[in-house]
């Protein structure tokens, strides 16, 4: 009998292992920088020539290695970072597999110089294609220098499949940028052909590092996130909606300081940004998730870019909620970043109070205006609120103008409350193209998209009710007959409970006919029959891509849109004031449910620039 099964020689085995660990020059850079970080370095210099194929040199001021340890590091599965299988449950270092250095050495010409801080002399090792050629003592700074030359010189097939020099250099730049953001306390210096491409200070400021990676203008608009719950902590920065990109390329995630790629975190961030950025647009984020070491498995793939969470659902919910809450508390108005302002609602006081004179013996009365939440019950004409004057007779109290829809009800003094607003004080000036409301405020000129603004208002009100209980319906005096296609019929029969839950009262009338006997209150001005057809259309593509919960959300988006005042609709002063006030009461007044802006601002500096006053 012939013996066909053989043990591979060390060189071949290392080259096979290198295929998993060393995919391209960027892989080499990642592994060597991770080793430098594990060694405690606070200064790391990366020099590249020929897009990493000709030269990769990583210099660090970490703990260094003895000569014996340096030689041992070239052996497969030799590592100082774990010693038993039990250690795999709580990996605190970036590297741990003991494969990177021998894999790199097997496909390059490698030089290692290293010295421990308490040693007089260092060690120099030369390796070619995995074979050690020379070991000698050398005088060198404390720390370690890995010099990789002629990458893939002995595996021409792999070298052939590398991308263009620009693409490979871009991959290297990308990984260095992300690792620099993961470790803002480490000073990175990255050069290509002697030219500095990135240099960070190592001061510990993540925002400063982000500005060095993405630029100062983008960093200025980043929103700080730092929250903890249930043993998890999420910290970092979120990009404002107007910084969104067409891909997720600028979304960076770290888990306990390790750069990773995670669909769970990607989806969670998208959930947190839902209704804030438009469809097919992706925010810039730099986030570090901190959790117990035993709660994450990093031993998933040789590249260590993938992880598994022990509590995946909890992690996803935590991240989504942290992102959502941070965005809700931030000022997301496109065009400006505003300081937090306590809105006094003095917008229309003069219009309704007959001037700014004091009343009730209060010499310096401040006239504050609030509005009842008047529903837009008719797109042809709003029902304007009736103004009633409510003035305190007690010395020291302020006069308050209260807008209410009740023409006979006057609120008592202890009933008057001043709701807070997320918008600054904006005085409505008028309308442009019967579509945009124009106002003046503390920072300059404000322009509001009336449909997008009303859509945000309706969406949040409808969503809040739909989350708590079944939506209230309005009965029709005459039911609407719906003639459905065979496909629509099947969808409605299967999902009729979902429609009823959202306030549609439907009755099967035989064949492909349904009777619509009631609809959600919010869509009284829309054509509810057409709306049912629109909602059914969501199911045609929906089930292939989204679950029922997401489909329910899409239905609510559609209902909110159909119930909102349209563009090309002339509004009077009270209607515009009312719309703006209600927008300020929403959780996120800056975008519609689809992520489009509801309001933009032209600040004083921009106006002066446009009129060449600067």
Identify the bridge partners of residue 515 per DSSP, sorted by sequence position: 481, 507
291 three-state secondary structure: coil
Whether residue 180 is found in the same domain as residue 303: no
Element (H, E) at 263: helix 263-272
Whether residue 233 is found in the same domain as residue 163: no
pTM above 0.75, yes or no: no
The rounded distance, in Å, linking the Cα atoms of 439 and 452 is 16
Contact indicator for 295, 231 with CB cutoff of 8 Å: yes
The rounded distance, in Å, linking the Cα atoms of 13 and 98 is 14
Element (H, E) at 289: strand 285-290
Give 376's pLDDT tier (boundaries 50, 70, 90).
Answer: very low
The rounded distance, in Å, linking the Cα atoms of 81 and 451 is 59
Nearest CA to 233 out of 295, 179, 183, 307 is that of: 295
Which of 7-11, 283-287, 400-404, 531-535 shows the lowest mean pLDDT across its residues? 400-404
Tokens of 437: 């409301």
Asked if residue 81 belongs to a domain, the reply is yes
Mean of per-residue pLDDT scores for the chain: 78
Asked if residue 391 belongs to a domain, the reply is no
Give 446's pLDDT tier (boundaries 50, 70, 90).
Answer: very high
197 three-state secondary structure: strand
Asked if residue 34 belongs to a domain, the reply is yes
Select from 297, 328, 359 the last residue of a domain: 328
Collect all residues with Cβ–Cβ distance below 8 Å to 440 and sequence separation of at least 6: 426, 427, 429, 446
In the numeric block, the tokens 């290198």 are attached to: 18
Contact indicator for 206, 226 with CB cutoff of 8 Å: no
Residue 144: pLDDT above 80?
yes
Contact indicator for 122, 66 with CB cutoff of 8 Å: no
Asked if residue 256 belongs to a domain, the reply is yes
Tokens of 188: 């990175």
Whether residue 151 is found in the same domain as residue 246: no
Nearest CA to 242 out of 332, 325, 339 is that of: 332
CA angle 80, 82, 86 (to 5 degrees): 165
The rounded distance, in Å, linking the Cα atoms of 461 and 449 is 19
Contact indicator for 146, 57 with CB cutoff of 8 Å: yes
The rounded distance, in Å, linking the Cα atoms of 443 and 603 is 5
Percent helix, strand and coil across the chain, each to the nearest 5: 35, 25, 40
Whether residue 260 is found in the same domain as residue 172: no
Residue 330: pLDDT above 50?
yes
Give percent above pLDDT 70 in the chain. 74
pLDDT digits (tens, 9 = 90+) for 71-80: 988 887 555 5
Select from 328, 348, 379 the last residue of a domain: 328
Task: Report strand pairing: 122-128 vs 187-192.
Answer: unpaired
Whether residue 195 is found in the same domain as residue 291: no
Averaged over 550-577, what is the pLDDT?
82
Averaged over 568-593, what is the pLDDT?
90
The rounded distance, in Å, linking the Cα atoms of 613 and 607 is 8
Which of 110-124, 289-303, 412-426, 598-612 shows the lowest mean pLDDT across its residues? 412-426
Count structural domains, the chain: 2
Report the 3 state secondary structure along 501-559: HCCCEEEEEECCEEEEEEEEHHHCCCCHHHHHHHHHHHHHHHHHHCCHHHHHHHHHHHH
Whether residue 153 is found in the same domain as residue 268: no
The rounded distance, in Å, linking the Cα atoms of 313 and 321 is 12
Asked if residue 65 belongs to a domain, the reply is yes
End-to-end CA distance of the chain: 92
Residue 291, domain CATH: 3.30.230.10
Residue 356: pLDDT above 80?
no
Averaged over 424-437, what is the pLDDT?
91
Maximal C-alpha separation, the chain: 114
Whether residue 256 is found in the same domain as residue 185: no
Report the 3 state secondary structure along 387-451: EEEEECCCCCCCEEEEEECCCCCCCCHHHCCCCCCCCCCCEEEEEECCCEEEEEECCEEEEEEHH
Task: Report strand pairing: 251-255 vs 285-290.
Answer: parallel
Burial zone of 362 (CB within 10 Å; 0-12 exposed, 13-18 middle, 19+ buried): middle
Nearest CA to 253 out of 234, 271, 239, 272 is that of: 234
What domain range includes position 139? 10-199
Whether residue 139 is found in the same domain as residue 21: yes
**Within a 10 A sphere around the Cβ of 394, how many other Cβ atoms?**
9
Contact indicator for 378, 388 with CB cutoff of 8 Å: no
Residue 299: pLDDT above 70?
no
pLDDT at 135: 95
Averaged over 96-123, what is the pLDDT?
88
Which of 110-114, 234-238, 404-408 shows the lowest mean pLDDT across its residues? 404-408
Give 559's pLDDT tier (boundaries 50, 70, 90).
Answer: confident
Residue 60, domain CATH: 3.30.565.10
pLDDT at 366: 27
Asked if residue 264 belongs to a domain, the reply is yes
Tokens of 211: 């500005």
The rounded distance, in Å, linking the Cα atoms of 365 and 361 is 9
Contact indicator for 410, 399 with CB cutoff of 8 Å: no
| Backbone region of residue 449 per phi and psi (left: phi > 0; alpha: psi in -120 to 50; beta: other values) | beta
Collect all residues with Cβ–Cβ distance below 8 Å to 258 and sequence separation of at least 6: 94, 182, 298, 304, 307
Collect all residues with Cβ–Cβ distance below 8 Å to 335 and sequence separation of at least 6: 242, 600, 601, 602, 603, 606
The rounded distance, in Å, linking the Cα atoms of 191 and 151 is 18
**Within a 10 A sphere around the Cβ of 612, how many other Cβ atoms?**
6
Q: What are the Cα distances from residue 74, in Å, to 98, 139, 154, 223?
A: 9, 21, 18, 44
pLDDT digits (tens, 9 = 90+) for 249-274: 889 999 998 898 899 999 999 999 98
Collect all residues with Cβ–Cβ distance below 8 Å to 420 and sequence separation of at least 6: 342, 343
Select from 199, 230, 265 the last residue of a domain: 199
Whether residue 142 is found in the same domain as residue 181: yes
| Backbone region of residue 553 per phi and psi (left: phi > 0; alpha: psi in -120 to 50; beta: other values) | alpha
Asked if residue 484 belongs to a domain, the reply is no
Whether residue 158 is found in the same domain as residue 285: no
Asked if residue 350 belongs to a domain, the reply is no
Which of 135-139, 399-403, 534-538, 559-563 shows the lowest mean pLDDT across its residues? 399-403
CA angle 459, 465, 471 (to 5 degrees): 100
Averaged over 118-138, what is the pLDDT?
94
Which of 207-221, 348-362, 472-486, 544-558 shows the lowest mean pLDDT across its residues? 348-362
Whether residue 136 is found in the same domain as residue 270: no
Whether residue 170 is found in the same domain as residue 239: no
Which of 84-88, 348-352, 471-475 shows the lowest mean pLDDT across its residues? 348-352
Contact indicator for 38, 81 with CB cutoff of 8 Å: yes
Nearest CA to 227 out of 298, 123, 324 is that of: 324
CA angle 72, 76, 77 (to 5 degrees): 90
């Amino acid at each position: 009998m012939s013996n066909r099964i053989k043990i591979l020689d060390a060189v071949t085995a290392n080259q096979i292992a290198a295929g998993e660990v060393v995919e391209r020059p960027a892989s080499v850079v990642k592994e060597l920088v991770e080793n430098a970080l594990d060694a405690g370095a606070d200064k790391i210099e990366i020099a590249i020539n020929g897009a990493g194929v000709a030269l990769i040199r990583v210099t660090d001021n970490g703990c260094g290695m003895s000569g014996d340890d340096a030689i041992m590091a070239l052996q497969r599965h030799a590592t100082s970072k774990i010693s038993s299988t039990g250690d795999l449950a709580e990996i605190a270092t970036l590297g741990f597999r003991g494969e990177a250095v021998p894999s790199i050495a097997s496909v390059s010409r490698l030089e290692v110089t290293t010295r421990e801080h308490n040693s007089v002399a260092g060690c120099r090792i030369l390796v070619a294609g995995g074979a050690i050629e020379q070991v000698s003592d050398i005088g060198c700074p404390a720390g370690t220098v890995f010099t990789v030359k002629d990458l893939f010189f002995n595996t021409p097939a792999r070298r052939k499949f590398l991308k263009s020099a620009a693409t490979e250099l871009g991959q290297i730049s990308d990984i260095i940028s992300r690792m620099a953001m993961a470790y803002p306390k480490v000073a990175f210096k990255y050069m290509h052909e002697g030219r500095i491409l990135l240099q960070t200070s190592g001061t510990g400021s993540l925002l400063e590092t982000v500005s060095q990676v993405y630029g100062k203008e983008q960093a200025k608009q980043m929103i700080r996130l730092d929250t903890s719950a249930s043993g998890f902590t999420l910290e970092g920065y979120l990009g404002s909606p107007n910084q969104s990109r067409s891909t997720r390329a600028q979304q960076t995630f770290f888990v306990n300081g390790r750069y990773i790629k995670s669909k769970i975190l990607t989806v969670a961030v998208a959930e947190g940004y839902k209704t804030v950025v438009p469809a097919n647009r992706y925010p810039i984020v730099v986030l570090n998730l901190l959790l117990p070491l035993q709660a994450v498995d990093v031993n998933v793939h040789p590249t260590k870019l993938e992880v598994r969470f022990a509590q995946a659902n909890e992690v996803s919910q935590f991240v989504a909620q942290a992102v959502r809450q941070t965005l809700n508390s931030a000022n997301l108005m496109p065009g400006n970043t505003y300081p937090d302002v306590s809105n006094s609602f003095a917008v229309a006081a003069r219009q309704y109070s007959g001037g700014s004179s004091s009343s009730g013996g209060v010499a310096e009365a401040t006239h504050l205006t609030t509005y009842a939440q008047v529903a837009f019950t008719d797109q042809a004409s709003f029902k304007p609120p009736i103004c009633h004057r409510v003035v305190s007779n007690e010395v020291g109290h302020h006069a308050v103008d209260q807008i209410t829809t009740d023409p006979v009800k006057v609120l008592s003094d202890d009933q008057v409350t001043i709701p807070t607003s997320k918008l600054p004080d904006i005085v409505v000036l008028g309308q442009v193209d019967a579509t945009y409301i124009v106002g003046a405020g503390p920072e300059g000129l404000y322009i509001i998209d009336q449909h997008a603004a009303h859509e945000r208002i309706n969406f949040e009100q409808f969503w809040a009710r739909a989350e708590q209980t079944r939506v209230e319906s309005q009965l029709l005096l005459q039911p609407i007959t719906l003639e459905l296609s065979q496909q629509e019929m099947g969808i409605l029969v299967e999902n009729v409970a979902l429609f009823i839950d959202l306030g549609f009262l439907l009755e099967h009338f035989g064949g492909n006919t349904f009777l619509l006997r009631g609809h959600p209150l919010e869509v009284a001005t829309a054509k509810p029959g057409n709306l049912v057809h629109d909602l059914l259309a969501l199911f045609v593509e929906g089930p292939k891509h989204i679950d029922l919960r997401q489909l329910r959300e899409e239905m609510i988006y559609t209902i909110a849109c159909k119930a909102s005042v349209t563009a090309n609709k002339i509004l009077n002063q009270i209607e515009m004031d009312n719309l703006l006030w209600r927008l300020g009461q929403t959780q996120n007044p800056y975008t519609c449910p689809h992520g489009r802006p509801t309001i933009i601002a032209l600040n004083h500096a921009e106006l002066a620039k446009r009129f060449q006053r600067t």
